[in-house]
Each structure stands twice: as C-alpha cells, then as structure tokens.
Amino acid sequence: MKYQRRVSILLFAILSLSLLLPSINVLAQKNQDPILVYTVPAILMGEPFILENNPEEMPNGFYKVHQTLKFFWLSAPYDPGDPEANIANTMGTALQYVVGVGRTNGVETLHGYGVYTSTISGKPGTITYTIGNNWNSGTGEMWAGRLRIVGGTDTFEDIKGPAELNFDLMAFELYLHENPWE
C-alpha cells in the first residue's frame, strides 16, 4: 500500500513538473521587449500575394489547402493606407508555404513554413520559420497566429525564438535575444 502511494506521489510530481517547465521556459524567453515586424501581404504593396493555390476538394465538402504566399516584412512605422511610404521601411520579403484544411463556412486552419530574405543593405541572409494560423477567408477574421524562428543564414545565423501575432497592430512580436536588423 505504501509503495502504491509513493508511486502515485512520484507520478503526480512528474506530471506537475512537465506542465510547469514549458510555461517557465516560454516566460523566460519573453523577458525582453519584442521586436515588431509587420508582415504585409504583397498585394498591399502592389505585387501578387498568392503565388500558388492548389485546393483539393474532399468528400465531406471541405478542401485541402496548398498555397504559396508572398509577404513583405516591414519595420515601424507602418501605414496601411500609404504603400509608397512603407517601401522605405521594407526589411525584406518572405515566401510562406502553407497546407491545411478549409471548411465549408470559410474557416481555414493552416500550418507550414516560411523563408524571409533580407533586402537591407549590409544585412544579407535568410530566416526560416514555422507558421500556423486560424482564420476565416470569407471575413478576414483571424484568431490565432503562431510563428517560430528556427534558423537563419549570414546576418541571421544564430537567430531563434518565438513570436506572437499582435492582432491590434497586425504585426508579429518577435522575442529574440537581439535585434538583427539594428
């Protein structure tokens, strides 16, 4: 009986630690000010946004999403009403490759990866990241946006970290140990 009690206590302790440690890790990574990066669909900068779109209808009426999208990464200040002014704040472009499921009500759940390429003079390189979001393609409403930088080249070689989508600004808040664009 004592053995079973000890095992139960040990299992409870292990479960508790496994639930706490990821939270502690995430909080530790977010103890610095975020770097704001506006990810602007290319169409708002006068270029094609959807470069590839190959939906496949499924038997239940849903469809498989398979897209390649182009975004511009901009620094602040960003003015959604003035694409000409935003050109000076362009840090580079990103191609995102996403797959997922679209439902009959317009809700899409997507995930994939992206590759940002810097266009800043003296800051060459790329950033590779994973991405995921949930949104309604009919209304444009988005309620989840995830991005995690997994690696880079040249200027961005040691860059890694999480990001959160700031829905008020429609910008990703990158939690990195340094700002590679400065």
More confident residue, 175 or 10: 175
Domain map (residue ranges) of the chain: 1-31, 34-174
Looking at residue 54, its pLDDT comes to 92
Domain 34-174, CATH number (from 3.30.70, 2.60.40, 2.40.480, 3.30.1490): 2.40.480
CA angle 16, 20, 25 (to 5 degrees): 155
Kindly report which listed range (9-13, 47-51, 85-89, 125-129) carries the lowest average pLDDT score: 9-13
- Average pLDDT of span 24-40: 66
- Average pLDDT of span 97-115: 92
DSSP string, the chain: -HHHHHHHHHHHHHHHHHHHHHHHHHHHHTSSPPEEEEEEEGGGGTS-SEEEE--EE-TTS-EEEEEEEEEEEEPSP--TT-HHHHGGGEEEEEEEEEEEEE-TTSEEEEEEEEEEEE-STT---EEEEEEEEEEETTT--EEEEEEEEEEE-GGGTT--EEEEEETTTTEEEE--SS-TT-
**DSSP 8-state symbol, 42:** G
Query: Strand, coil or helix: what is 27?
Result: helix
Query: What is the Cα–Cα distance from 110 to 125, expressed in whole angstroms?
Result: 26
Whole-model pTM: value is: 0.77
Q: Are 162 and 145 in contact (CB under 8 A)?
A: no
* Full 3-state SS string of 131-143: EEEEEECCCCCEE
Query: What is the Cα–Cα distance from 91 to 72, expressed in whole angstroms?
Result: 8
Looking at residue 11, its pLDDT comes to 45
The band of 115, judged by pLDDT with boundaries at 50, 70 and 90, is: very high
Decide if pLDDT at 13 tops 90. no
